[in-house]
């Protein structure tokens, strides 16, 4: 909000940092005595108490009740994350492990699943990864196969690891050679161009009543259009390790758990949240209520977009309790996003 940074002393920030770290580690409200021992600064508990009172006035920490220690508020975590955090560099071993797991021959669905499990496995939180957007992927080829009187199979070849099927309902039977002609025409026109471009061209073609379009071409265009528009596979993101969240005292009560898991199943809210991260610049962190979804009130979400050819195509991240080890989690999410992007890039 306002630039209240000058109002707050260096010492107070040090204490906020120490307090937050301790609370993240132990999960118990932190008292002045503890902090006096652990802060590094050499002050008596009484002094610490004065500073803590200031921090409380600023809304950075609060006590769950009179005469318990203090815990960070959302604003406290925010300040901690934004200005006090010293991220741990990620050890090479883990990076290697991720790279090998993600770099082995995958279609994008299984890549996403693996990434999600990796994230949850390494962080012990819940991992989420959106499926990569396809609009900018290029279409290598289209093939049509007759299935039955009123059905045609469209095969969209996007890369040598990525193929999609669409079953089209058509109004009359088509012969194999008709379909062959259609796909030849389309491949000639569109092969190598990206899906979004193709879609736009198709719409243009369908609107224009060009004289030079024979019946076959028209058929081809219409088929391609319905093939491209056929709904993408339903799940827009993949989640793993939800059960990890049950390990945390603060989330582990029936009411919270239920709210959380029902939200996960609904998918809608999570999807909304993730969508916001596609556009945001780089890594994004939502702490507690910041996300704006009640189900995530006690959680933090750390996300990073991943890109192919410098273009953001998806988002991945983790969900955990607000009291998560940000300094460890952040580099993991960051690295995963980079490796994910690399794994999606065409080889050779």
Pick the stretch among 67-75, 187-195, 219-227, 321-329 that binds DNA (CB under 7 A). 67-75
Minimum Å gap between C-beta 55 and a copy of itself is 32
Check if the beta carbon of residue 80 is closer than 8 Å to that of residue 16: yes
Q: Rounded to whole angstroms, how far apart are CA atoms 339 and 217?
A: 42
Q: Confirm or reject binding of residue 68 to DNA (CB under 7 A).
A: yes
53 binds DNA (CB under 7 A): yes
The footprint of a copy of itself on residues 87-106 (CB under 8 A) is: 105
Closest to DNA by CB, 50 vs 148, is: 50
167 binds, among a copy of itself, DNA, none (CB under 5 to 8 A by kind): a copy of itself
H or E stretch covering 157: strand 151-159
Per the CB < 8 A criterion, the answer to whether 248 and 321 are in contact is: yes
When the beta carbons of 26 and 160 are compared against a copy of itself, the nearer one is 160
Q: Can you tell me which residue has the tokens 């980079």?
A: 338
Distance CA 158, CA 194 (A): 9
Residues 22-51 that bind DNA (CB under 7 A): 29-34, 42-47, 49-50
Q: Does 17 bind DNA (CB under 7 A)?
A: no
CA proximity to 186, closest of 237, 148, 223, 158: 223
Contact characters 216-245, a copy of itself, x per CB under 8 A:
------------------x-------xx--
Neighbouring C-alpha atoms within 13 Å toward the C-beta of 241: 25
Structure tokens at 204: 């243009």
Q: Under the criterion CB under 7 A, does residue 167 sit at the interface with DNA?
A: no
CA dihedral 334, 246, 77, 47 (to 10 degrees): -130
Residue entry with tokens 């319905």: 226
Residue 161 touches a copy of itself, criterion: CB under 8 A? yes
Q: How far is the CB of 265 from a copy of itself (least distance, A)?
A: 6
Residues at the site binding DNA, with contacts judged by CB under 7 A: 29-34, 42-47, 49-50, 52-53, 56, 63, 65-70
């Amino acid at each position: 909000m306002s630039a209240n940074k000058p109002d707050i002393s260096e010492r107070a920030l040090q204490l906020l940092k120490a307090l937050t770290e301790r609370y993240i580690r132990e999960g118990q409200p932190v008292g002045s005595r503890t902090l006096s021992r652990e802060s590094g600064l050499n002050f008596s508990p009484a002094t610490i108490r004065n500073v803590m009172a200031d921090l409380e006035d600023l809304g950075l920490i609060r006590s769950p009740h009179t005469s318990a220690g203090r815990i960070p508020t959302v604003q406290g975590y925010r300040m901690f994350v934004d200005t006090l955090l010293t991220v741990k560099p990620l050890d090479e071993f883990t990076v290697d492990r991720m790279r090998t797991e993600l770099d082995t021959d995958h279609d994008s669905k299984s890549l996403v699943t693996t990434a999600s499990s990796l994230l949850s496995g390494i962080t012990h939180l819940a991992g989420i990864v959106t499926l990569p957007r396809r609009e900018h992927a290029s279409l290598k080829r289209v093939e049509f196969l007759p299935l039955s009187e009123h059905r045609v199979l469209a095969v969209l070849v996007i890369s040598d690891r990525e193929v999609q099927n669409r079953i089209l309902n058509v109004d009359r039977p088509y012969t194999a050679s008709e379909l062959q002609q259609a796909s030849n025409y389309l491949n000639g026109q569109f092969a190598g161009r990206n899906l979004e471009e193709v879609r736009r061209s198709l719409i243009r073609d369908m609107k224009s009543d060009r004289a030079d379009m024979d019946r076959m071409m028209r058929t081809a265009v219409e088929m391609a259009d319905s093939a491209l528009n056929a709904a993408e596979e339903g799940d827009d993101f993949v989640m793993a390790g939800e059960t990890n969240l049950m390990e945390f005292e603060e989330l582990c009560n029936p009411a919270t758990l239920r709210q959380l898991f029902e939200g996960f199943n609904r998918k809608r809210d999570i999807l909304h949240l993730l969508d916001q991260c596609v556009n945001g610049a780089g890594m994004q962190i939502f702490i507690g209520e910041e996300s704006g979804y009640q189900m995530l009130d006690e959680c933090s979400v750390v996300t990073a977009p991943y890109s192919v050819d410098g273009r953001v195509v998806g988002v991945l991240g983790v969900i955990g309790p607000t009291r998560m080890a940000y300094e460890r989690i952040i580099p993991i999410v960051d690295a995963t996003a980079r490796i994910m992007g690399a794994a999606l890039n065409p080889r050779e």
